[in-house]
Amino acid sequence: MEQFNYKGSDGFTIESYKWLDQSHNKPKAIIQIVHGMAEHAARYDYFAKRMLDKGYFVYANDHRGHGKTAGNIVNTGHFADSNGWDLVVDDVRILTKIIREKHSGVPLILFGHSMGSFIARDYIIHDFDKIEGLILSGTSYNPDYIIALGSMIAGIQKTFKGGRHRSKFLDKLSFGNFNKSFRPNRTEFDWLSRDNIEVDKYINDPYCGFLCSTQFFNDLFYGLKKIHKNTAYYAIQSPLPTLVFSGERDPVGGFTKGVRKFLTRSTEGDNTNIDYHFYKDGRHEMLNEINKDEVIDDINKWIEENSANL
């Protein structure tokens, strides 16, 4: 794993990682990871190394307010004072451009997990032709009224508390019920994985599980509004090879209900290139689950099976 950085559209420094094998003149494909909320790209090291062994190169950036891009704990959980969501999506686009310049002619697959899947879904609204494949992990469908309610509450909190206030209320509103289905709970984050070691690593990592700002939640609900418009589903319906996978017990995906609703909306058009896989008893982070090697092997198999279309 090698660290590097680049400049966002506003000149902000974005810290990033790449996993390359210099003995390979040309990888099978390049996987660009878009990580989730309250985590960071270095957590994907195991997955990236496994894919590297299989002949792929991997790139990932830490979002603003996350990981090394945040710079310190004080700056975590806050994209920007304004326009944060669009800036973060632009950061992903810029990394794609950097990858293209360095690896011309190599298929590029965008891999988004959780919030990263929402960012990836926004990315492809206008740029589905910039990538050859899309993988979505831990994604979901959110009803319009839920998004509207969350947006209203986030706006009120920002007005009275300020944009950088770390909102326990919004955090509880968004994630408070996730652990209920896993009682008796060992930790507050049992919903992430059945692997206790991985859950403890998340809890003990100061750059994971932090509270986010009221402005962050305003940005998030703004992004959710964008990806639930018809234009976003039209982008998914483009002839873009797409893999969607989720744990059957992932509360973010509504225990598959939200994922299935997303799949229904995404297959209303002509796209027959959408595949999906639900993992029995799996929770939110399938790349950190007890059967993570099975999941990684399935991802590799899907890429190989779709290689003619990439």
Neighbours of 17 (CB within 10 A): 22
Per residue in 92-146, pLDDT (tens digit) is: 999 999 999 999 999 999 999 999 999 999 999 989 889 999 999 999 999 899 9
pLDDT band for position 270 (cuts 50, 70, 90)? low
Q: How far apart are the first and last CA of the chain?
A: 25
Q: How many angstroms separate the CA atoms of 212 and 240, rounded?
A: 33
CB 266 within 8 A of CB 236: yes
Neighbours of 106 (CB within 10 A): 17
pLDDT band for position 273 (cuts 50, 70, 90)? confident
pLDDT for the residue numbered 24? 73
Report, as an integer, the average pLDDT of 141-169: 94
Nearest C-alpha neighbor of 275 from the set 142, 139, 134: 134
pLDDT band for position 269 (cuts 50, 70, 90)? low
Nearest C-alpha neighbor of 289 from the set 222, 227, 221, 198: 198
- CA atoms 197, 198, 199, 201: torsion sign: positive
Nearest C-alpha neighbor of 303 from the set 20, 35, 25, 30: 30
Residue 17 has pLDDT above 70, yes or no: yes
pLDDT for the residue numbered 271? 58
Per residue in 67-106, pLDDT (tens digit) is: 999 999 999 999 999 999 999 999 999 999 999 999 999 9
pLDDT for the residue numbered 26? 87
3-state secondary structure the chain: CEEEEEECCCCCEEEEEEECCCCCCCCCCEEEEECCCCCCHHHHHHHHHHHHHCCCEEEEECCCCCHHHHCCHHHCCCCCCCCHHHHHHHHHHHHHHHHHHHCCCCCEEEEEECHHHHHHHHHHHHHHHHCCEEEEECCCCCCHHHHHHHHHHHHHHHHHHCCCCECHHHHHHHHCCCCHHHCCCCCCCHHHCCCHHHHHHHHHCCCCCCCCEHHHHHHHHHHHHHHCCHHHHHHHCCCCCEEEEEECCCCCCCCCHHHHHHHHHHCCCCCCCEEEEEECCCCCCHHHCCCHHHHHHHHHHHHHHCHHHC
Per residue in 274-284, pLDDT (tens digit) is: 999 999 999 99
Report, as an integer, the average pLDDT of 62-71: 98
Domain boundaries, the chain: 2-309
Q: How many angstroms separate the CA atoms of 182 and 140, rounded?
A: 20
Residue 182 has pLDDT above 90, yes or no: yes
Q: How many angstroms separate the CA atoms of 277 and 150, rounded?
A: 29
Q: How many angstroms separate the CA atoms of 166 and 108, rounded?
A: 36
135 is written with which tokens? 């993988």
Determine the CATH number of domain 2-309: 3.40.50.1820
Report, as an integer, the average pLDDT of 27-49: 97
Nearest C-alpha neighbor of 194 from the set 122, 250, 268, 152: 250
CB 58 within 8 A of CB 42: no
Q: What are phi and psi of 108, to 5 degrees?
A: -120, 130
Give every CB contact of residue 115 below 8 A, 6+ residues apart in sequence. Answer: 36, 37, 220
Report, as an integer, the average pLDDT of 45-55: 97
pLDDT for the residue numbered 231? 80
pLDDT for the residue numbered 230? 83
pLDDT for the residue numbered 5? 98
Report, as an integer, the average pLDDT of 258-281: 87
- Residue type (1 letter), 138: G
Residue 162 has pLDDT above 90, yes or no: yes
Neighbours of 46 (CB within 10 A): 14
Q: How many angstroms separate the CA atoms of 108 and 52, rounded?
A: 14
Residue 74 half-sphere exposure toward CB, CA atoms < 13 A: 0
Per residue in 185-242, pLDDT (tens digit) is: 999 999 999 999 999 999 999 999 999 999 999 999 999 999 998 888 877 777 789 9
pLDDT band for position 22 (cuts 50, 70, 90)? confident
